[in-house]
């Protein structure tokens, strides 16, 4: 039997994936006995904010991810479609009908037992002892061992308690992950697709040319463009904070609009300091600099260093496009600062989202470092399939790099030095094809073709 904690997007998908493969599940959900600051009902898979499952157009990253999820037997996506409301190109759902339908499906499944109780550290420890499972591959054919394949792994505990994991369990996770590898807040800097940056303006250089010369890209402000940028930044509308986010929010990650409002020069003496960066066009240090740092090994994505902010999304994009070199940049992620809980996956988790140091302990959903309802649900299916395979004595099969699943898992495994932060599915995560066409639309089409082909191969061996 597999224990799953959290009846949100990831937890219900993990439970469904296991049960549909004939594996018995106990699913713990603490609501309504205890609730989170954002949930309002006792429904499973509750939508805490917007009612959108993102684009339903097939030729988009979110459309491709949903197609892959459906092919793997998703519960969430077809239930969303069956309870949709008009939402333009997005799959928008009636949150009440959707939540009821998911809850009914889970509660009525013969192999799923739903327990309405807060899962505690003591329960987690009990679950993982006295006989932790053999690591995957031990005694299994994939690693060439001649030992017999075991019947099942004995223990699988999937934690899918999301961004608002109850405090005792979050503390326990922090202990298991190692202090410093579980984050309680998100201060995300915006991220752009590399192919949309103006390389005639930006220049590649590390400060004082130390380290790897071309790792950083620099967007050089002159005095006039800097002053205009600061003026727009301080005037822009900001996202109000939730009551539960007000407490310790600014520690170490003051938003740039707050810094800028303290004085016109504060950014250029701080986050945007130009020292040690010589613009090859002028031979001088610029007036101020926004640095871009690679977000992945393939350098298809760059994040704006130290640009955490909480501007509203529409105006945020307009303001950031005032940065020289980013006039036409496409933002795959905009800045946010909010309450979250997630693990530093590249350091802690295997490619199948099991703790490297704690066999049998999996995480799913937003805790893994993906962002959004759909992405969290997707990781629930993946972990559910893997844990169910473990029960049945089969090894995990990580997704191929090119498909949407592979792109998300790559984000969770890529150990490029960066501020690891949750990411939703986007074009920049899909690998560039070898013979990448110059035109953006053609390039994207090639990415999708590669994704579809790779996914079909993966599905066939699952």
Ligand X SMILES: Cc1cc2nc3c(=O)[nH]c(=O)nc-3n(C[C@H](O)[C@H](O)[C@H](O)COP(=O)(O)OP(=O)(O)OC[C@H]3O[C@@H](n4cnc5c(N)ncnc54)[C@H](O)[C@@H]3O)c2cc1C
In the complex, least distance from residue 53 CB atom to ligand X, rounded to whole angstroms: 8
Residues found near ligand X in the complex (CB under 6 A)? 5-11, 28-31, 36, 38-39, 48-50, 118-119, 160-166, 169, 242, 339, 365-367, 372-373, 376
Nearer to ligand X among residue 423 and residue 450 (C-beta): 423
User: Would you state the structure tokens that stand for residue 303, as one six-digit string?
Assistant: 């994040």
Nearer to ligand X among residue 124 and residue 304 (C-beta): 124
In the complex, least distance from residue 437 CB atom to ligand X, rounded to whole angstroms: 31
Question: Which strands make up the sheet holding 288-294, listed edge to edge?
Answer: 203-204, 217-221, 288-294, 301-304, 191-193, 331-333
Phi, psi (5° rounding) for residue 390? -60, -45
Nearer to ligand X among residue 169 and residue 329 (C-beta): 169
In the complex, least distance from residue 61 CB atom to ligand X, rounded to whole angstroms: 14
Q: Give the DSSP per-residue string, 392-447.
A: TT----PPPTTSHHHHHHHHHH---SS----B---GGGSPPPTT--SSHHHHHHHH
Contact 384, 17 (CB under 8 A): yes
**What is the C-alpha to C-alpha distance for residues 277 and 279, in angstroms, rounded to an integer?**
6
- Pairing between β-strand 52-55 and β-strand 191-193 as defined by DSSP bridges: unpaired
In the complex, least distance from residue 226 CB atom to ligand X, rounded to whole angstroms: 34
In the complex, least distance from residue 453 CB atom to ligand X, rounded to whole angstroms: 28
Nearer to ligand X among residue 8 and residue 428 (C-beta): 8
- Pairing between β-strand 2-5 and β-strand 157-159 as defined by DSSP bridges: parallel
Nearer to ligand X among residue 226 and residue 362 (C-beta): 362
In the complex, least distance from residue 348 CB atom to ligand X, rounded to whole angstroms: 16
In the complex, least distance from residue 129 CB atom to ligand X, rounded to whole angstroms: 19
In the complex, least distance from residue 249 CB atom to ligand X, rounded to whole angstroms: 13
What is the Cβ-side half-sphere exposure of residue 293, based on CA atoms within 13 angstroms? 15
The residue sitting closest to ligand X, measured at its beta carbon, is 8
Nearer to ligand X among residue 239 and residue 322 (C-beta): 239
User: Would you state the structure tokens that stand for residue 365, as one six-digit string?
Assistant: 């959903």
Cα–Cα separations (whole angstroms), residue 387 to 14, 68, 133, 374, 427: 9, 19, 11, 20, 29
Nearer to ligand X among residue 39 and residue 100 (C-beta): 39
Nearer to ligand X among residue 10 and residue 305 (C-beta): 10
Cα–Cα separations (whole angstroms), residue 320 to 226, 316, 392: 11, 6, 51
* Total count of residues recorded for the chain: 462
Nearer to ligand X among residue 118 and residue 432 (C-beta): 118
Nearer to ligand X among residue 47 and residue 289 (C-beta): 47
In the complex, least distance from residue 4 CB atom to ligand X, rounded to whole angstroms: 10
In the complex, least distance from residue 209 CB atom to ligand X, rounded to whole angstroms: 41
Contact 352, 386 (CB under 8 A): yes
User: Would you state the structure tokens that stand for residue 440, as one six-digit string?
Assistant: 């953006």
**What is the C-alpha to C-alpha distance for residues 301 and 435, in angstroms, rounded to an integer?**
18
235: three-class secondary structure by DSSP: helix
């Amino acid at each position: 039997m597999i224990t799953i904690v959290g009846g949100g997007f990831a937890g219900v998908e993990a439970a469904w994936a296991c049960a549909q493969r004939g594996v018995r599940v106990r699913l713990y959900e603490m609501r309504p006995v205890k609730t989170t600051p954002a949930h309002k009902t006792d429904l499973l898979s509750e939508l805490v904010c917007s009612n959108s499952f993102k684009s339903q157009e097939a030729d988009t990253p979110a459309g491709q991810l949903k197609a892959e999820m459906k092919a793997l037997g998703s519960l969430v996506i077809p239930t969303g479609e069956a309870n949709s409301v008009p939402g333009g190109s997005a799959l928008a759902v009636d949150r009440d009908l959707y939540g009821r339908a998911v809850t009914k499906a889970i509660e009525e499944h013969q192999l799923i037992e739903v327990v309405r109780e807060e899962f505690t550290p003591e329960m987690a420890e009990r679950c993982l002892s006295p006989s932790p499972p053999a690591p995957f591959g031990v005694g299994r054919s994939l690693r060439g061992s001649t030992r017999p394949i075991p019947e099942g792994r004995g223990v699988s505990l999937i934690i899918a308690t999301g961004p608002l994991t109850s405090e005792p369990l979050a503390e326990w996770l922090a202990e298991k992950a190692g202090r410093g590898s579980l984050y309680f807040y998100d201060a995300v800097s915006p991220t752009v697709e590399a192919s949309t940056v103006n390389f005639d303006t930006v220049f590649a250089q590390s400060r004082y040319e130390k380290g790897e010369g071309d790792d950083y890209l620099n967007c050089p402000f002159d005095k006039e463009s800097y002053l205009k940028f600061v003026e727009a930044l301080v005037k822009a509308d900001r996202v109000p904070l939730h009551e539960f986010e007000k407490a310790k929010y600014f520690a170490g990650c003051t938003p740039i609009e707050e810094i800028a409002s303290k004085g016109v020069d504060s950014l250029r003496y701080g986050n945007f300091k130009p020292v040690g960066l010589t613009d090859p066009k002028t031979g001088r240090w610029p007036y101020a600099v926004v640095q871009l740092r690679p977000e992945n090994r393939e350098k298809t994505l760059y994040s704006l260093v130290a640009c955490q902010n909480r501007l509203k999304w529409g105006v945020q994009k307009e303001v950031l496009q005032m940065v020289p070199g980013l006039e036409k940049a496409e933002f795959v992620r905009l800045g946010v600062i909010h309450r979250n809980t997630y693990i530093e996956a590249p350091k802690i988790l295997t490619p199948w989202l099991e703790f490297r140091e704690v066999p049998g302990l999996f995480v799913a959903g937003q805790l893994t470092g993906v962002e959004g309802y759909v992405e969290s649900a997707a990781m629930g299916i993946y972990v559910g399939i893997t844990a169910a395979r473990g029960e049945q004595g089969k090894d995990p099969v990580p997704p191929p790099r090119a498909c949407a699943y592979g792109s998300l898992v790559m984000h969770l495994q890529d150990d490029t030095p960066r501020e690891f932060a949750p990411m939703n599915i986007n074009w920049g995560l899909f690998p560039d094809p070898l013979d990448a066409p110059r035109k953006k639309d053609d390039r994207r089409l090639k990415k999708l073709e590669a994704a579809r082909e790779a996914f079909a191969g993966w599905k066939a061996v699952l």
